[in-house]
Structures are given as C-alpha cells and as structure tokens.
Chains A and B, each alone.
Chain A
C-alpha cells in the first residue's frame, strides 16, 4: 500500500531531491525567478549555499568542486542574465566532461516566449553545450527530472546538465516521490569493455617492441589510476599524459614521460611518433595533442579505450577500439598480461631523447621566471597540492614543471581554454578538498576576468593561495604574435594598464605579497603557506617576454618541435 503523501511545493521538492542526491554545496546567486527557492533555502540545513559574485564564477566553482572530488557540482541561478552568465562555465564543463547540474530559474510557463522581463531561451542557448537539458513544465515531473539530471551528468562520459525551472512550477504543489531507478531508454552507457577486444589488446601489447600509453582525463574520471599504475609498472610501459591526464600517473615516476602535444616534452612527442603500439586511454586525440593528424604516430598500431563511442575514430582512425569504462578495461587488460614485453631498447631510445632536448630551464640571469616559480611551488608542496591553473603560458609551464603525484590535483580549462577559470574553480575545489593546499595560479590577464570571486574566498575564509604570474602581457597571445604574426603586439601589452594587484588583493581582504627577485621566492612562499585562516595573494613579477618551449606550431607535425636549443628547420 502506498502511504498517503503530504503535498509539497516545488521548492520543497527541489531541496528534498538535492538531499537525496547528497548534495553538500550549491554555488549560486539569487534573483527574481528563484526567490521561492531561496526562501526555502533559508531553512535548509543539510546543504550549504555559497554565494559567488557572478554566475560564471558559480559554474566554474561547481566545476572545480566536481573535478577535485569526483562528485556532481551544483549551480543555482535566476532566469535571463543569471542563466546566460552560466553559459561559459557550462561550455567549459562540456568540453572537459565535468559533471555539473545547473538549475536556472525561468519566467512562469504562461510567459515563456513573450520576451518577459529577465527571460532568455536558455534551453535553446545551451542545447549544443550540455550533455542534456530539461525544461520542467509541471511540478509532477520535477523530482524525476532532477533524478535524471544527476544520473546523466555523472554516468558514462560525464558532462553538464541544465534544468530550467519556471517560477510557477517551483510555486505549485504536488506529492513528493523520489524515483529509485532512472529509466532512459535512449541512454545506456557501455560500461564493460568487449572481452575479445581486450584479449586482442593484450596480445598486441605482449608483442610490442615500442609501446606507449597515452593517458587522458578519462582515466582520472573513471577512478582508474591504480589500475593504470599496475599495468604500467608490471610491464615497464612508458606513460605520457594529456593536459587533463596529468596526475593520473605520478610525474615523479621514471615511467612518466610527462605531457605530450603542443607544449609537451620533446621525448614524449618523439615517442608518440616512433612507437609501434599506441594505447589511448580515456583521451580524445585533441588537435593540441595530435598536431597535424596525417603525420601523427604513423608507425603505430592504435588501441583506443573510451567510454564515449563518438570519441573513437573522430580525429584519428584507430585499429582496435574498446568502448567501455577505462578503469574496468585497464584492470582486465592488466590481468591478461601473463608475459611482459622486453622494452630495454625502447627505453634506451627514450633516455637518449631526454638528453637530446631537456627543458630549457634557469638561464641564471638573475631574472624571475615562471618556470622557476612553478618548480619552487612544486618543491614546497611536494606535488601534493591541488593546483588550479588558468589559461595561457603559466598553464603550460605548470603542466611541464609541476610534478603532480595524485589524480584530481590538476584542475584546468583544457578544452574550452577559459581565461578566468582558476579563481572561481579553486574556490569550488577548496570546499571539496580540505586536507591539501589549494593553489590558484593565473596570469595577469585571466586573473582580471573573475577577480570579483576573491571576495567569495575571503567571505568563506578559504585558505587558498592565489598566485598571479604577472608578466604584464597576455603572454601566450604575445608569444604567437612574436612567432607567427610579424611581431605585431596588438593589444597584448598590459604594462601600462594593469592595476596594482597587491593593493587590489589587500582591498579584498587577502594577505598579499609581491615578489620581484628569484631569491625572495622561498621565503615568501614559506610565509604565505603559513597563513591558513584566510586566502593569500602572491604576485610574481616575472620576465615580460619569455616563451613556452618546446612548441609544436599549430598545424605542424608533433615531430617538428620548436625548441630553444634545436633549430626547428633541422628537425624532422
């Protein structure tokens, strides 16, 4: 017998659903269409609402939380501008497969389409940048829709889901029942990899003379880092990681070749182009990884493991696809390896490449350089921090020089390349991760794109270290201008227009430092890391015109890296 259920308002149902989904934090911003939800929120004690200062900040914070913890990030904003401000964050989460659920207020259903005050067709706007989106037209559908939203966001290849909530739906009453199971006949992600394919992959690996593991963010998302370590170590396999894959395998391990691709290591890229077996794990052959597709790893047999069938054969045709959860496939693959390949020749070759073109570091000219700062931070935190980078030169230097040892430690906007990601994302990460230092690193350009969120960190007493690498330039754009655009430094010089960042940070209430000389770095880091009752700001005034090397020019083969030491023209 069904027990008689009391009627509840849409707003009450909303929070009951979030409770059932074990939501700890909502990142949000109130407004007209969601007032009823905020009224109810006033009495809710099972979750915490974090007021950001801009809706974009809320979505990035939810991303940061989701990426650092593996849980679903939740956003609540109002209709119209509240909703449209979430668009960049949603697109970012879509590109980097981050599970977030964004609840947007909407004008009452009878007004939809009327150009009502604060109305925007957020369903239409976000359709191409969400894994799925829902408009709840009846309060009776609310609970089921929320259940589906969380399910879709967090399963298969994760991604953002948007739920549009018209004001009248939130205000209406109905009986509450949370569905235990979700039935979506059009959505059944494949979990188990095909047995025969896995066996075939193992046979290939046993025979391989020059195998290489190409590890993407999917390994971290599936929780398969232990399985990866097992496979790599038992078989002595070289591991190269994408930007999103960093942390999936310890960067300090001898088997790690570091990052591949445009600003990857010389030896990783050489290995990609010379290997006879390339095993892509939860990676998507992004153009920043492959360079010119036609000349990408032409000598190799390619195995691609991914939970998303669309990722397979999208950019690069592979020989053996395995659709399934990477963690599961890795475990199966490792257990199939009853004999191990002899790779001594291959490792000799890799070691040779390592010596041929190491990172061009520390010219000892007494100038403060980003690479040096990153190495110092890496040393100081022993690779244990959660590092949230922004977009640009510093992002690549972090990828090259910070030695990540844990998964979910490197948070960055890789796919969309969203400047302004770091500050709010680090706030989300700080709510999710309390036992490790959270370090936000931005350039002076990106830092100003969501600078308002500093106050969110201050208000919540988050011990985040906000680091700004200030070279007074939009550095990566400047680098391209110098290399490929006739040295026309069009609108990238901020030296005359940057604010005094230290004063700005102080005004927000942060402890603030500014560093200009390499010899100050250690002591300031020590001082800054000793402050843990509020956020800290450190500005590093670095060399203005440094460039990230090595580099594969856009559209070139990854074998043709530009480096400081090697003349690109003499390289093949």
Chain B
C-alpha cells in the first residue's frame, strides 16, 4: 500500500541525502520525494511517497526518526490531508487537435503555459491520480515530455464544530423561541 509521509528535517547540508541514502541502503521503495523550506527557514519539509506492508512502513518511519537531522515524522496515510502534485506536460498538436487539448485542459482546470507551432504545454495541479488521468487522456495526441513535482501534502486543519446557518423558512420551533 502507498503511504504519504511528511518529514520535517533540519535545513542543513546533506539532510536530504541522508534520507535518500537511508532509503536506498535499506531497500525501501520510494515513489516520489519532494523537499522545500517551511515557515521556519531552518526547517525543511520533505514529502515522501513510499510503499510496503505494515512492518516495512513501521521500519521506514522508525528509520527516518533515527536520523539525527530528522525533527518529526508523520505518516499522513489514513488521516485527513491535502495532497497536491504539479505536472508540466508537453503534448504534440495538429490542426484540429489544439482545441481538443485546450478543452481537456479546461476540464481538468489546468493552464496552457506554453505553445509553439508543434507542441503545447499543460500545467496541471491536483492529487496524483488526477495527473495520471490527464496523462492518460493526452497520451493519444503524443506526449513529448513530462515533468512531475512529486507529491506535497499537509494534514488538514482540525475542523471546529460550526453551527450551520439555515436559510429560508424558519421552523415552528424556532418561531416559538423568537
């Protein structure tokens, strides 16, 4: 099963390499890995997508925690979360297929960010399965090249209980209250 793991690491020389080395050295799968600064400049957030059975994922999390530069490890799998990936997909077009492609792009709420006389480039953002869907659909036109950012993810903020506001007719009970 695929797991999305968020890792806070010291923004320090070699920290990223330590994680990558640990994965290859211990034979863990790695589907994607992305890293960037966080709200604190000395901390980076790494988002890893890995897979394995429960025992392996437990080891992945423990081994990540064991690295000295690792501050926090959160397995986001099974938790409410937001996952996004960005893809740039350059596709060949011909007379007639250009509109089809722009339509597809619209359907997936993407942008056309580059075009020349043979190819156009789609910018698509969304969960990884949406990117997969776009790639699948446009592949019939001929894909020149793809760049995917890898998943970034955050846990959803806790939702506080909100009293829903009722629009329209008031009920008898509410009338009585008033």
Chain A interface (Cβ within 8 Å of chain B)?
A: 123-124, 127-128, 131-133, 135, 137, 152, 184-187, 308-310, 312-314, 317
CB distance from A321 to the nearest CB of B (A): 11
Q: Are A309 and B68 in contact (CB under 8 A)?
A: no
Q: Are A310 and B59 in contact (CB under 8 A)?
A: yes
Q: Are A308 and B66 in contact (CB under 8 A)?
A: yes
CB distance from A448 to the nearest CB of B (A): 30
Q: Are B59 and A317 in contact (CB under 8 A)?
A: no
Choose from A135, A313, A317 the contact partner of B13 (Cβ within 8 Å): A135
Q: Are B55 and A310 in contact (CB under 8 A)?
A: no
Chain B interface (Cβ within 8 Å of chain A)?
A: 9-10, 13-14, 17-18, 21-22, 25, 55, 58-59, 62-63, 65-71
CB distance from A161 to the nearest CB of B (A): 9
Choose from B10, B13, B63 the contact partner of A186 (Cβ within 8 Å): B10
Q: Are A124 and B62 in contact (CB under 8 A)?
A: no
Collect the chain A residues with CB atoms within 8 Å of residue B18's CB.
127
CB distance from A156 to the nearest CB of B (A): 9
Collect the chain B residues with CB atoms within 8 Å of residue A124's CB.
17
Residue pairs across A and B with Cβ atoms less than 8 A apart, 8 shown, are: A127-B17, A128-B25, A131-B68, A132-B68, A135-B13, A186-B69, A312-B62, A317-B55
CB distance from A114 to the nearest CB of B (A): 17
Q: Point out which of B14, B67, B68 has the most chain A C-beta atoms below 10 A from its C-beta.
A: B68
Q: Are A313 and B71 in contact (CB under 8 A)?
A: no
Cα of A277 to Cα of B99 in the assembled complex, Å = 71
Cα of A564 to Cα of B16 in the assembled complex, Å = 53
Cα of A132 to Cα of B70 in the assembled complex, Å = 12
CB distance from B44 to the nearest CB of A (A): 12
CB distance from B2 to the nearest CB of A (A): 21
New A-B contacts (8) at CB < 8 Å, excluding given A132-B69, A187-B68: A123-B14, A127-B21, A135-B13, A186-B69, A309-B65, A309-B66, A313-B55, A313-B58
CB distance from A146 to the nearest CB of B (A): 15
Collect the chain A residues with CB atoms within 8 Å of residue B65's CB.
309
CB distance from A123 to the nearest CB of B (A): 6
Q: Are B63 and A310 in contact (CB under 8 A)?
A: yes
CB distance from B23 to the nearest CB of A (A): 11
Q: Are A186 and B70 in contact (CB under 8 A)?
A: yes
Collect the chain A residues with CB atoms within 8 Å of residue B22's CB.
128
Cα of A130 to Cα of B50 in the assembled complex, Å = 24
Cα of A313 to Cα of B57 in the assembled complex, Å = 11
CB distance from B53 to the nearest CB of A (A): 11
Cα of A137 to Cα of B12 in the assembled complex, Å = 12
Collect the chain A residues with CB atoms within 8 Å of residue B13's CB.
135, 137
The 6 nearest A-B residue pairs measured at CB = A132-B68, A310-B62, A128-B25, A186-B71, A187-B68, A186-B70
Q: Point out which of B10, B21, B66, B69 has the most chain A C-beta atoms below 10 A from its C-beta.
A: B66
Cα of A261 to Cα of B20 in the assembled complex, Å = 33
Collect the chain B residues with CB atoms within 8 Å of residue A309's CB.
62, 65-66
Cα of A185 to Cα of B8 in the assembled complex, Å = 11
Q: Are A184 and B68 in contact (CB under 8 A)?
A: yes
Contact (A185, B71) CB under 8 Å given A127-B14, A308-B66, A310-B66: yes
Cα of A558 to Cα of B65 in the assembled complex, Å = 33
Contact (A314, B59) CB under 8 Å given A127-B18, A185-B71: yes
Collect the chain A residues with CB atoms within 8 Å of residue B67's CB.
186
Cα of A308 to Cα of B66 in the assembled complex, Å = 8
Collect the chain B residues with CB atoms within 8 Å of residue A185's CB.
71
Closest residue of chain A to B63 (Cβ to Cβ) is A310
Q: Are B14 and A313 in contact (CB under 8 A)?
A: no
Contact (A128, B70) CB under 8 Å given A186-B10, A313-B55, A317-B55: no
Collect the chain A residues with CB atoms within 8 Å of residue B21's CB.
127-128
CB distance from B66 to the nearest CB of A (A): 5
Collect the chain B residues with CB atoms within 8 Å of residue A128's CB.
21-22, 25
CB distance from B70 to the nearest CB of A (A): 5
Collect the chain A residues with CB atoms within 8 Å of residue B14's CB.
123, 127, 133, 135
CB distance from A322 to the nearest CB of B (A): 15
Collect the chain B residues with CB atoms within 8 Å of residue A312's CB.
62
Cα of A312 to Cα of B58 in the assembled complex, Å = 10
Choose from A123, A133, A137, A313 the contact partner of B59 (Cβ within 8 Å): A313
Q: Point out which of A128, A186, A310, A317 has the most chain B C-beta atoms below 10 A from its C-beta.
A: A186
Closest residue of chain B to A124 (Cβ to Cβ) is B17
Collect the chain B residues with CB atoms within 8 Å of residue A314's CB.
59
Q: Are B68 and A186 in contact (CB under 8 A)?
A: yes
Cα of A135 to Cα of B67 in the assembled complex, Å = 16
Cα of A314 to Cα of B68 in the assembled complex, Å = 20
CB distance from B153 to the nearest CB of A (A): 21
Collect the chain A residues with CB atoms within 8 Å of residue B55's CB.
313, 317
Collect the chain B residues with CB atoms within 8 Å of residue A187's CB.
68
Cα of A36 to Cα of B9 in the assembled complex, Å = 34
